[in-house]
Amino acid sequence: MSQFIVLFRRHVTIQSVLDTVLWLAVAIPVLILFLYGTPHERGFLCDDPSLSFPYKTPTLSTSSLLIVSAIVPLLVVFFIEVVNCIDKKCRSQFFTSGMVLYIVNMYAIFLVGFIIQQGVVEVIKSRMGVLRPNFFDVCKPHFNVSLCPGYITKYTCTGSDLMEIRDSRLSFPSGHSSLAMYIAVFFCVYIDDRLQIINSNILKPFLQSGLVFIAVLCGVDRIMDNKHHPSDVVAGFVLGVVVGLAVYYKIARNVLPVNETPDKSDKHVIRAREARESRVSRDCYTYDESQEMEPQSPLPLLQHENLDDTNPEKNGTVSTQMFLDTPFKARRHFSTPITPTFKSEDGI
C-alpha cells in the first residue's frame, strides 16, 4: 500500500511539473508579444472619420482587468461551493484538503483558457495592425497632404507617447471584450453544472446573467472610450465564447468532477431526491430511497378450493364470474361461500 502511495505521489508531481512547464512555455511568449510586439504598420485614408475620435482615459485599464480576472474566478468558485453546502444544510467540515485541491485545479484550468485566448488575441492584433478610433489624435501623423483624398502609406507619427502610438495599431480584436466574455461563458457553464440549489429557482440565472452583463458592459465601455470599433468588440465576444466553451467542455469536464450526473435530463431527479433528503434529515445523513417507494399491490388472494368458474353450482357455491355479474357488483370475500336459493314450482 505504501508503495502505491509513493508511486501515486510521484505521478502527480511529474504531471504538475510538466503542466506548469507547458503553461509557462506558452505564457512567456504571449507576455513578450503583449509587451514588446511590433504591430503591422497599416495605412489609412487621410479623411477617415472612424479614426478621428479624441483620446480618452480608459474606464477599465488593462491592469485593472487583469486583477479582476484573477480574483473573480476564485470568488465565483468559493461562492458556489459555500452555497451548495448551505443549501444542503451540511454540518460537516467545509475547508477540506479535497476542496482546496478542487479549487486549485479549477483555477489552473481557467488559466489555461486565459493563455489560449490571450495568445490568439495578441497574434491577430500584431498581424493585422488595425488602427484604433483615436489613431489620429494619438499618432498625429505627418504626411504629404497633396495626396488627399487617398490612401496614405508613408507617414510619420509625431506624438510624444511611443507606447500609446504602438497601442493605437492594436484595435482588432478587442482583448478586453474577449477576456471578459471568456470569464463569463466559462463560469456560466460551471455554475450550470456545479450549483445544485433547491431553495431558489432564480439564483442560478441571476448569477449567469450578471456575468454576461458585466462582459457586455466591458465591451461597450471600450467603444465609448474610443479604444475599439464595434466590429472589434463583436469579434472579441465571439472569440471569448468559443474559447470558453472549448476549454470547459474539452478540459474541465474531463478533469474535474463538476457534476456526478452531467446529463441535463437527470437534474430534476437529483433535485427531487435532495428535496426528500432535506425533509427527512437536515444533517446530511444517509437516506434510503426505498422508504418512499410506492406501495406494492397486495398479492392476489388464493382461490378457494370450492370456487370453480366452470361449474357455478359445484358444492353449493357461486363462481367468481357469477358473483361479479350481480346487479350491484358488490365486493365480498371470495372465501365465503354463498348458497343459492331455488324456488320450486309451488313457490317454496
228 is catalytic: yes
CB 103 within 8 A of CB 84: no
Which residues pair with residue 156 across a beta bridge?
142
Cα separation, 33 vs 282, whole angstroms: 55
Residue that is written with C-alpha cell 493585422 in the block? 128
Whether the CB-CB separation of 17 and 101 falls below 8 Å is answered with no
Q: Which residue out of 176, 229, 304, 333 is catalytically annotated?
A: 176
Task: Tell me, yes or no, if 176 is annotated catalytic.
Answer: yes
Determine contact, residues 147/47, Cβ cutoff 8 Å. Answer: no
Q: Give, as one character, the DSSP assignment of residue 296.
A: P
- Residue 292 has a CB neighbour count (10 Å cut-off) of 11
From 11, 40, 228, 268, active-site residue: 228
- The DSSP bridge partners found for residue 260 are none
Q: What are phi and psi of 100, to 5 degrees?
A: -60, -45
CB atoms within 10 A of CB 78: 12
CA dihedral for 8, 10, 14, 19, sign (positive or negative):
positive
User: At 141, which helix (H) or strand (E)?
Assistant: strand 141-142
The verdict on whether omega for the bond into residue 337 sits within 30 degrees of 0, i.e. cis, is no
CA proximity to 56, closest of 223, 284, 183? 223
> Residues with Cβ < 8 Å from 26, sequence gap 6 or more?
115, 116, 119
Q: What is the DSSP letter of 227?
A: S
Would you call 155 helix, strand, or coil by DSSP?
A: coil
Nearest-angstrom CA–CA distance, 26 and 235: 23
- CA 246 vs. chain centroid, Å, equals 11
Contact between 118 and 179 under an 8 Å Cβ cutoff? The reply is: yes
Q: Annotated active-site positions, please?
A: 176, 228
